[in-house]
Amino acid sequence: MVADPNEVTTAEIAQAVGVSRQTILSWGDKDCLPKRYTQFRGSYGRSSRWPAFTIPLALYVRAALRRSSFAEIARAVKPILDADVDWVNRQIGAGRTIEQLMNDPETVKHRQDDNS
């Protein structure tokens, strides 16, 4: 299977952030990370895939947890999670930070199509 450069696995995120895979899944369940999708691989089990920008977002969440609750973080990152995934990946790839995207009114303009 060829890896998609726009996606990362739970294990890749956990390793980059320095937390367990279960922690990453928990943060996702608390709406602090984007929606993941599960890829079923037959007898090889299953694998969760996430947008590539999940790594810098998870780093932000880890740091924010020192001063904020999960509910506060979920509210703060909501504009990013509501934005088009490809647009967010391009912005991060161009060197913008999670904090910049959270505070940029342009992020709201790039909301995902509700029909997708």
At residue 80, the pLDDT reads 95
At residue 113, the pLDDT reads 58
Task: State yes or no: pLDDT of 97 exceeds 70.
Answer: yes
At residue 3, the pLDDT reads 63
Task: State yes or no: pLDDT of 29 exceeds 80.
Answer: yes
CB atoms within 10 A of CB 12: 18
Task: State yes or no: pLDDT of 11 exceeds 70.
Answer: yes
Residue spans per domain, the chain: 8-109
Amino acid at 34: P
At residue 40, the pLDDT reads 74
Q: Smallest Cα–Cα separation from 101: which of 36, 57, 49?
A: 57
At residue 70, the pLDDT reads 97
Task: State yes or no: pLDDT of 115 exceeds 50.
Answer: no
CATH, range 8-109: 1.10.1660.10
The percent of residues above 90 in pLDDT, for the chain, comes to: 72
Amino acid at 72: E
Confidence grade of residue 114 (pLDDT, cut at 50, 70, 90)? very low
Task: State yes or no: pLDDT of 81 exceeds 70.
Answer: yes
More reliable by pLDDT, 38 or 35: 35
Alpha-carbon distance values, 54 to 7, 41, 43, 67, 77 (Å): 9, 22, 27, 20, 11
